[in-house]
Amino acid sequence: MDRFKGLSGLKPSTIFLAALSLSIGWGIRGNFGHEYGAMIPGALTAIVVCLLSGREDWRNRVVYFGMFGALGWAFGGSMSYMQVVAYTHSGHLPSQYFGFFGLFVIGFLWAAMGGAGTAFPAVVEKERLTAIFRPLCWIFVFWIIFGKFLLFYFETLFPANFDATWSRQAAYTYWFDSDWMETTAAIVALLAFELWDNREEHFLRAKVLLLPVSLAIFAAFGLLVQTVLHLAGLDAPLAGALIHYQVTPEFVATAAAERGLTEAEVLSDQLINWPNVVLFFPNHIGWFIGALIGLAVYFFRFGRFGSGASLFMHMCLGWFGCFLLFPVLLGHPFYDGEMWFRMTPPRGDNWAGVLGVVIGTAIWLVRNRYIPVLYAMLVSGVIGGLGFSGGQLIKLICIRPGNREVTTDPELIAQWAHWQGSNWHSVLEQSYGFINGIGIAIAMGLLAARLGRNDGAPTERRWTKVFAVAFVLFGVSYLNMFKNVRQWVKDDALPEMMNMPLVDGVSWSAAVWFNLIFGLAALIGIILLARHVRNPIALVPASALGRGQLLYIAFLATVVVMNFERALAGFGAQRLITEGVIFVNAILAVLLILLLPTRGITVPDIGLINYGRSVYRAVCIGIAVLLLATFGMTRAARYLYGDQFSGHAGQQYRFGDEATWKLKPTEKSKKHS
Asked if residues 76 and 352 have their Cβ atoms less than 8 Å apart, the reply is no
Beta bridge partners of 272: 245
3-state secondary structure of 496: coil
Percentage helix, strand, coil, to 5, in the chain? 70, 0, 30
Beta bridge partners of 652: none
CA–CA gap between residue 384 and residue 377 (Å, rounded):
10
CA–CA gap between residue 115 and residue 196 (Å, rounded):
31
Of 568, 556, 657, 518, nearest in space to 17 by CA = 556
Quick: pLDDT tens for 568-590: 877 777 677 788 889 999 999 99
Instruction: Using the Cα atoms of residue 25, residue 26, residue 32 and residue 38 in order, give the sign of their dihedral.
Output: positive
Positions of the chain with pLDDT lower than 70, given as ranges:
1-9, 152-164, 333-336, 456-460, 574, 599-602, 604-606, 608
Predicted pLDDT of residue 8: 60
Predicted pLDDT of residue 546: 95
3-state secondary structure of 658: coil
Of 431, 350, 313, 370, nearest in space to 115 by CA = 370
Predicted pLDDT of residue 3: 42
- How far is CA 414 from its chain centroid? 40
Predicted pLDDT of residue 418: 87
- Count H helices, E strands: the chain? 31, 2
3-state secondary structure of 509: strand
Question: Hey, how many other C-beta atoms are within 10 angstroms of the C-beta on 208?
Answer: 15
Predicted pLDDT of residue 51: 95
Predicted pLDDT of residue 506: 86
Q: What is the DSSP letter of 497?
A: E
Predicted pLDDT of residue 458: 52
CA–CA gap between residue 149 and residue 151 (Å, rounded):
6
CA–CA gap between residue 597 and residue 547 (Å, rounded):
13
CA–CA gap between residue 86 and residue 652 (Å, rounded):
6
CA–CA gap between residue 554 and residue 469 (Å, rounded):
11
CA–CA gap between residue 434 and residue 427 (Å, rounded):
10
Predicted pLDDT of residue 591: 97
Helix (H) or strand (E) segment spanning residue 499: strand 497-499
Asked if residues 57 and 454 have their Cβ atoms less than 8 Å apart, the reply is yes
Beta bridge partners of 659: 653
CA–CA gap between residue 368 and residue 124 (Å, rounded):
10
